[in-house]
Structure 1
Amino acid sequence: MSDALPARRRRRWWPWLLLLLALLLVGVWTLPASLAYRLIADRLQDVAAAGLSGTLWEGRASSLLVKGRDWGQLDWRLQRWPLLQGRTEVTATLKGTGLDLNGQIDRAADRALQLRQVAGQLDAAWLGPALGLPLFIPTGQIELALPL
């Protein structure tokens, strides 16, 4: 009879473990974008986001700053299942002054980034700082269509 009591106690913790796992799963599934950003903000050296809404999986930043320059509004959708394979797949749309881009960003387990299906347009002036020619100010529109 003394062996029956420990077995009964062992069975009692199973419902609590299942409840804890369910709560953890719901917490991750509905994780607010603002909380997720706070958890990783220190690793994003030159990138800052403001006006976050939605969840980690599907959300929006009303302002994305890269090295102090405002790139505009970022909308994203993070795919859940590739994460189980160590990959990150994000579909993103970036809309700002003179900038309207969308596409898919993939990051493999080896941390290599790949841009796919990038399309949109941007003012040529966005290239000015990248060219490093202070007297040269590009003008016009650049149309992008990378169907890779």
Structure 2
Amino acid sequence: MRLLKGFLVLVVLALIVGGIVLWTLPADVAYRYGTSYLGPVVLTGVRGTVWDGHADGVSVLGRDLGELDWHAQKAALLTGTFVTDLRVKGADIDAAGVATRTPRGTYSVRDLRFRVPAEILAPALDLGNLRLLGVISGTVTEATLSGAVLSSATGNARWTEAGVSGDAEARFSDILADFAAQPDGGIGGAVHDDGTGELAVDGTFRANVGTFDAQATLSARNGDPQVAETLRHIGELQTDGSTRLIVHGQMLKVL
């Protein structure tokens, strides 16, 4: 009986010590042992604890995104699920949301708000000497990744202060997009202008890990001469004066 009591005391002490260690586990130690779960994500300057931490730098496929802060939810671990509030902030990128990893190895995000310069998409769109102006912001309402397959996703985005410079100079009204997961594991949606400017846009797009495909009809609303001149440098001119834009690009160029 005494042996059993002694064993129980040791177990309780071990749990207490283990809990203290886990509660105060340094973030850099956790990162060293958990890099295999992060794939192409690399952190530098990691400090704090596994629950509340900071990284001076976070990069994906070699592209530096900025600083990272996280605040993990301890109660969720009782079910084997890791849930954390993330914030990435760089010189031109700002994103924040809730990320979850389940015991089955699926990853998901919800209420992910993002803001990036429109120019970040230029390499994938291959627009020659045209430079994209303005900012793209939006929300990923929810997205779930099972293995390498995007099983669900919904969200929207808005390109504000939209415009181009380079071979042509023009400013447009806001461009809107709604997107969702596709049966092939990629993402797709529709894009259109908000109806207030001189550029009319109506198109669709699809993207996956490797490629980006889009097609759109662009036209000068009310025959605006500046927009019409810009459209001469974009896509294939149609008989009605509009431009048919077909893009096949590499998503990896964005990173």
What amino acid is aligned across from residue 59 of structure 2 in structure 1? L
Identity of matched residues, %: 30
- Give the 3-state SS of the residue equivalent to 1:45 in structure 2: coil
| Structure 1: tracts of 5 or more residues without a match | 1-6
- Give the 3-state SS of the residue equivalent to 2:53 in structure 1: strand
Deviation at 1:26, TM superposition (A): 0.6
Counterpart of 2:3 in structure 1 is 9
Deviation at 1:8, TM superposition (A): 2.4
Deviation at 1:116, TM superposition (A): 1.5
Counterpart of 1:86 in structure 2 is 80
Two-structure CA RMSD over aligned residues (Å)? 2.2
Counterpart of 1:61 in structure 2 is 55
Q: Select which of 9, 19, 25 maps to 2:19.
A: 25
Q: Radius of gyration: which is bigger?
A: 2
Structure richer in strand, relative to its length: 2
Counterpart of 1:40 in structure 2 is 34
1:133 equivalent in alignment to 2:126: yes
Give the distance between the partners of 1:118 and 1:43, measured in 2 at CA: 21
Give the distance between the partners of 2:139 and 2:39, measured in 1 at CA: 29
Q: Deviations over 1:83-103 (max 9, x none)?
A: 332333221111002111111
Give the distance between the partners of 1:127 and 1:86, measured in 2 at CA: 37
Structure richer in helix, relative to its length: 1
Give the distance between the partners of 1:142 and 1:17, measured in 2 at CA: 54
Counterpart of 2:45 in structure 1 is 51
Give the distance between the partners of 1:8 and 1:65, measured in 2 at CA: 56
Counterpart of 1:3 in structure 2 is none
Give the distance between the partners of 2:14 and 2:80, measured in 1 at CA: 24
Check 1:105–1:43 CA distance in 2 against 1; reply closer, same or farther (3 A cut). closer
The answer to which of 56-65 and 111-120 deviates more is 111-120
- Give the 3-state SS of the residue equivalent to 1:140 in structure 2: strand
Give TM-score scaled by structure 2 length.
0.50
- Give the 3-state SS of the residue equivalent to 2:133 in structure 1: coil
What amino acid is aligned across from residue 40 of structure 1 in structure 2? G
Deviation at 1:110, TM superposition (A): 4.1
Tell me which of the two structures has the higher relative contact order, counting C-alpha pairs closer than 8 angstroms and 6 or more residues apart. Answer: 1
| Structure 2: tracts of 5 or more residues without a match | 143-255
Q: How many residues were matched structurally? A: 141
Counterpart of 2:136 in structure 1 is 142
Give TM-score scaled by structure 1 length.
0.81
Runs of 4 or more, structure 1, over 4 Å off, are none
1:99 equivalent in alignment to 2:93: yes
Give the distance between the partners of 1:138 and 1:97, measured in 2 at CA: 17
Give the distance between the partners of 1:37 and 1:26, measured in 2 at CA: 18
